[in-house]
Structure 1
Amino acid sequence: MALVSLSDDKFRLENSGEAELSKVTPQRTKLVLNLISVYILWGSTYLFMHFMTERMPPLYMAGCRLLTAGLILYPFARFTGHARPNKQEWLAAGLIGILLLSVANGGMTVAVHYIPTGVAALLAGMLPLFIVILNWLTFSKVRPTKLVMAGLAVGLVGIALLVKPGGFRTTTTESWVGIGLIMVCNLAWATGTLLSGRMKLPTQMVSIAVQMLVGGGLLLLVSLVVEPVTLTSIGQAPTKAIGALIYLIIFGSLIGFSSFSWLARNAPPQILSTYAYVNPVVAMLLGWAFAGEALTGQSLVSALIILAGVVLISFGKRRG
Structure 2
Amino acid sequence: MQAVSSPVSTNPNRVTLWANLISVYILWGSTYMFIHFMTERMPPLYMISARYLVSGSILYGYARLTGTPRPTLAEWKSSAIIGVLLLSIANGCLSMGIQYIPSSMAALLGGLLPVFLLSLNWVSFGRKRPSNMALAGLAIGLVGIFLLVKPDKMQTTSGIDAKLIGFALVALGNFSWAVGTLLTPRLSLPSATISSGIQMILGGLVLLPVSLALEPVTLFSIFHAPPKAIYSMIYLVIFGSIIGFSSYSWLARNASPQLLSTYAFVNPVVAMLLGTTFAGEVFSSQSFLGAAIALVGVVLITLGRK
Residue pairs, 1:193-272, within 5 angstroms? 193-272=181-260
Q: Give, as a single letter, the amino acid of the residue that structure 1 aligns with 2:34.
A: F
- Residue 191 of structure 1, aligned match among 142, 154, 179: 179
Deviations 1:156-193, CA, capped at 9 Å, x for gaps: 00111112245999995222111001111111000000
- What is the rounded CA distance, in whole Å, between the counterparts of 1:26 and 1:126 in structure 2? 28
Deviation larger for 99-108 or 162-171: 162-171
Give how far 1:222 is off. Answer: 1.1
Deviation at 1:43, TM superposition (A): 0.5
Using the aligned pairs only, state the percent identity: 57
For 2:98, which of 93, 98, 112 is the aligned residue?
Answer: 112
SS at structure 2 position matched to 1:228: coil
Kindly provide the amino acid, as one letter, of the partner of residue 30 in structure 1: T
| Alignment equivalent of 1:283, drawn from 265, 271, 274 | 271
Structure 2 residue 145 is the aligned partner of structure 1 residue 150 = no
TM score, norm. by length of structure 2? 0.93
1:298, CA displacement in angstroms?
2.1
User: Any conservation in 1 of the 2:153–2:161 contact (CA below 8 Å)?
Assistant: no
Q: How does 1:1-320 map to 2 (within 5 A)?
A: 27-165=13-151, 172-318=160-306
Q: Distance in 2 between matches of 1:35 and 1:208?
A: 19
Q: Secondary structure at the match of 2:130?
A: coil
Per the alignment, in what secondary structure is the counterpart of residue 258 of structure 2? Answer: helix
Structure (1 or 2) with the larger CA radius of gyration: 1
Indicate the larger mover: 217-226 or 93-102.
Answer: 217-226
The question of whether the paired residues in 2 share the 8 Å contact of 1:69 and 1:254 is answered with yes
Contact 2:151 2:163 in 1 (8 A): no
Amino acid aligned to 1:184: L
> Which amino acid in 1 is paired with 2:258?
Q
**SS in structure 2 opposite 1:197?**
helix
Contact 1:168 1:295 in 2 (8 A): no
Asked if structure 2 preserves the Cα contact closer than 8 Å seen for 1:167 and 1:298, the reply is: no
> 1:151 is aligned with what amino acid?
G
Q: List runs of 5+ in structure 1 lacking aligned partners.
A: 1-23
Structure 2: distance between partners of 1:240 and 1:92: 35
Q: Distance in 1 between matches of 2:79 and 2:303?
A: 30
Segment drifting more, 170-179 vs 67-76: 170-179
SS state at 1:55 partner: coil
Corresponding residue pairs, total:
295
Deviation of the 1:26 alpha carbon: 8.1
Cα 1:168–1:271, aligned 2, differ >3 Å: closer, same or farther? farther
Contact 2:38 2:47 in 1 (8 A): yes
Change (3 A) 1:168 1:288: farther
How far is the alpha carbon of 1:218 from its aligned partner? 0.8
1-structure distance, mates of 2:56, 2:205: 9
- Greater helix percent: which structure? 1
Q: Matched residues in 2 for 1:236 and 1:39: separation? A: 33
* AA of the residue aligned to 1:202: P
C-alpha contact (below 8 Å) 2:258/2:305 kept by paired residues: no
Structure 2 distance, partners of 1:316, 1:169, is 38
Q: Which whole-Å deviations, capped at 9, do the CAs of 1:259-305 have from their partners, x for residues lacking one? A: 11111111111110111111001111111011111133222221111
Q: Deviations over 1:71-126 (max 9, x none)?
A: 11101001111111000000001100000000001110111000011110001111
Distance in 1 between residues matched to 2:275 and 2:201, nearest whole Å:
29
Counterpart-to-counterpart distance in 2, 1:259 and 1:84: 23
Please list every run of at least 4 consecutive aligned residues from structure 1 whose deviation after the TM superposition is greater than 3 angstroms. Answer: 165-172
